[in-house]
Amino acid sequence: MWSRALLKTNAKQRLARYHWYGVLVCLLAALLGASSMPSLEFEFNGESSGDLESYFSQLSEESLLIAVIILVVSVVVLLVALAFHLLVSNPTHVGFARYFISAREVKTPVSELFAAFRSNYVNTATVMFTKDLYVFLWTLLFIIPGIIKEYSYFMVPYLLAENPEMDSDRALQLSSDMMVGHKMELFVLRLSFIGWQILSAITYNILGILYVAPYYTATMAEFYVAVRSEAFARGLTSQSELPFVFT
Q: Residue 122: how many CA atoms within 13 Å on its side-chain side? A: 0
Dist. CA 61–CA 47, nearest whole Å: 22
- State the pLDDT at residue 40: 35
Question: Considering the entire predicted model, what is its pTM?
Answer: 0.85
Residue 145: other Cβ atoms inside 10 A: 14
Q: Under a CB-based contact definition with an 8 Å cutoff, are residues 222 and 11 in contact? A: yes
Query: Mind listing the pLDDT tens digit for each residue in 85-132?
Result: 999 999 999 999 999 999 999 999 999 999 999 989 999 999 999 999
Give the residue from 152, 151, 149 showing the smallest Cα distance to 134: 149
More confident residue, 58 or 164: 164
Percent of the chain having pLDDT more than 90?
77
Q: Under a CB-based contact definition with an 8 Å cutoff, are residues 59 and 67 in contact? A: yes
Give the pLDDT band of residue 244 (cuts 50, 70, 90): confident
- State the pLDDT at residue 45: 47
Mean pLDDT of the chain: 88
Decide if pLDDT at 50 tops 60.
no
Decide if pLDDT at 152 tops 50.
yes
CA distances in angstroms from 116 to 6, 164, 222, 244, listed in the order given: 30, 8, 21, 14
Query: Mind listing the pLDDT tens digit for each residue in 180-223?
Result: 999 999 999 999 999 999 999 999 989 999 999 999 999 999 99
Give the pLDDT band of residue 49 (cuts 50, 70, 90): very low
Give the residue from 16, 234, 19 showing the smallest Cα distance to 110: 19
